Amino acid sequence: MTRFAAVIALAAVAALAALAPLSPTFADPRQQDVTATDFDTYVRNLWPQAERRGITRATFDLAFRGVTPDAAIIAASRKQAEYGRPVGAYVAGAVSPARLAGGRQMLAKWADTLAAAERQYGVDRAMLVAIWGMETSYGGHYGGKDIIRSLVTLATSGYREAFCREQLLQALAILQQGHIARDKMTGSWAGAMGQPQFIPSSFMRWAVDFSGDGRRDIWTNVPDVIGSIANYFRDNGWQPGLPWGFEVTVPRHFDFSKSRARFAEWRALGVRRAGGGALPEEDGDAYLLFPAGAAGPAFLVTANFEAIKRYNISDAYALAVAHLADRLRGGQPFVTAWPKDDKQMSRAERIWLQRDLAARGFRVDNFVGQIDFVQRDAIRALQAKAGLRPDGHPTDDLLLWLAANPPADAGAAR
């Protein structure tokens, strides 16, 4: 099959993508433009639900006073990149000289606060600063959008309405409790707030008053920002003392279908740390990840890498955060060069791939285009069947083979 024929074979991708459940950053096909009447009706109908949550009329009226639909929010929700950047380019941009310099300054300036958070929550300071730097460049860029206006505009438009309505109610509770002034509740167009970019429900669950002033202020209070990030990580599986992982090399004639093993087994298989150094002696589990395929860097990643992914599900994001933390500790750049031809699949192609995997009986928990480790293992199995190197990195060649060899039936979930 030629590449041109593959385009024909994958012509249904866009239609399939429109059927997929949505994540906070995916456009909703049910979304509509918002009129002032629609907006006012939505706010009016929201009041009984807010009242049942304990929101006073005074707080509710203050929150919505003078608020109108924001067409820019709807435009932002519809205008999202179809193709991701190559992983190597993304990591290089994230771990920039400016971000490294800023991180070192924050480590020095907030050393006492970071040490206290490290003691209380068990998350090392470099990782806390790396998340802070990745999210908002240490508080320099956390968005100037009115969170209430953004959420009610999105909800009224039909963009993930139930999700946005819940976040709106949680935002009202934050105002009700006096954690931030109404005009200071700002963030991204999608509702992520303050320096750690918590959505309102995450704020209510994980934001802490680390400064002891009686408020949880993740906008202007740096101790609260640091403590809140640390609390989030502790509650989402961070294991003190466990490395997130490291770059490794694999021996010649390595069995690329092998993805999960304990450190002792990886040592026995000839896997070594890139640039020298031994694998941990403790008998922990690690996943072998090739984020750009076997031609690029390889990584053994642990449960703490998964903890980073609970902040943002992207493998590229987690790798950038982890590498930024390592560099802030004095670590070196990656040893293996990133491939120059690392073409990233489009979102539509990734969703098509997920639906194809599900039809073949592999487990797929959602269809939003994020390929997790379980799906990478499924990809390994299919690559082996197709005669491709089973490194778990989806490529055009795999899509060609899948399109030419459609699943016989939906099958049972594996």
For the segment 269-278, the average pLDDT, to the nearest whole number, is 91
**pLDDT mean over 224-251:** 97
The model's confidence at residue 82, banded by pLDDT at 50, 70 and 90, is low
State residue 96's pLDDT score.
98
* Structure confidence at residue 6 (pLDDT): 47
Q: 152-180: per-residue pLDDT in tens?
A: 999 999 999 999 999 999 999 999 999 99
Q: State pLDDT tens for residues 224-236.
A: 999 999 999 999 9
* Amino acid 343: pLDDT: 83
Domain ranges (residues) in the chain: 1-25+344-414, 36-79+142-235, 85-141+237-343
- pLDDT above 90 covers what percent of the chain? 82
pLDDT of the residue at 80: 61
Domains 36-79+142-235 and 85-141+237-343 belong to one CATH topology: no
The band of 19, judged by pLDDT with boundaries at 50, 70 and 90, is very low
- Give pLDDT, residue 281: 84
Residue 81, pLDDT score: 61
Query: Residue 344 — pLDDT band, cuts 50, 70, 90?
Result: confident
Residue 277 has pLDDT above 90, yes or no: no
- Return the percentage of the chain with pLDDT > 70, whole number: 90
What does the pLDDT look like over 92-148, one tens digit per residue? 999 999 999 999 999 999 999 999 999 999 999 999 999 999 999 999 999 999 999
Q: What pLDDT was estimated at residue 377? A: 98
What is the three-state SS of the chain?
Answer: CCHHHHHHHCCCHHHHHHCCCCCCCCCCCCCCCCCHHHHHHHHHHHHHHHHHCCCCHHHHHHHHCCCCCCHHHHHHHHCCCCECCCHHHHHHHHCCHHHHHHHHHHHHHCHHHHHHHHHHHCCCHHHHHHHHHHHHCCCCCCCCEEHHHHHHHHHHHCCCHHHHHHHHHHHHHHHHCCCCCHHHCEECCCCCECCCCECHHHHHHHCCCCCCCCCCCCCCCHHHHHHHHHHHHHHCCCCCCCCCEEEEECCCCCCCCCCEEEHHHHHHCCCEECCCCCCCCCCCEEEEECCCCCCCCEEEECHHHHHHHCCCCCHHHHHHHHHHHHHHCCCCCCCCCCCCCCCCCEHHHHHHHHHHHHHCCCCCCCCCCCCCHHHHHHHHHHHHHCCCCCCCCCCHHHHHHHHHCCCCCCCCCC
pTM recorded for the entire structure: 0.89
Please give the pLDDT value at position 403.
96
358-376: pLDDT as tens digits = 999 999 998 989 899 999 9
CA 85, distance to chain mean position in Å, is: 15
Rounded CA-CA distance 336/296 in Å is 6
Q: What is the mean pLDDT of the chain?
A: 91
pLDDT band at 31 (very low <50, low <70, confident <90, very high): low
What's the whole-number mean pLDDT along residues 250-267? Answer: 96
- Quickly name the fold that domain 36-79+142-235 has: Helicase, Ruva Protein; domain 3 (1.10.8)
Please report the pLDDT score of residue 21 as a whole number.
29
Checking if the pLDDT of 287 tops 70, the result is yes
> Which class would CATH give 85-141+237-343?
mainly alpha
Looking at residue 95, its pLDDT comes to 98
pLDDT tens digit string along 194-210?
A: 999 999 999 999 999 99
Residue at token pair 């609260």: 224
The residue-averaged pLDDT of 326-348 equals 93
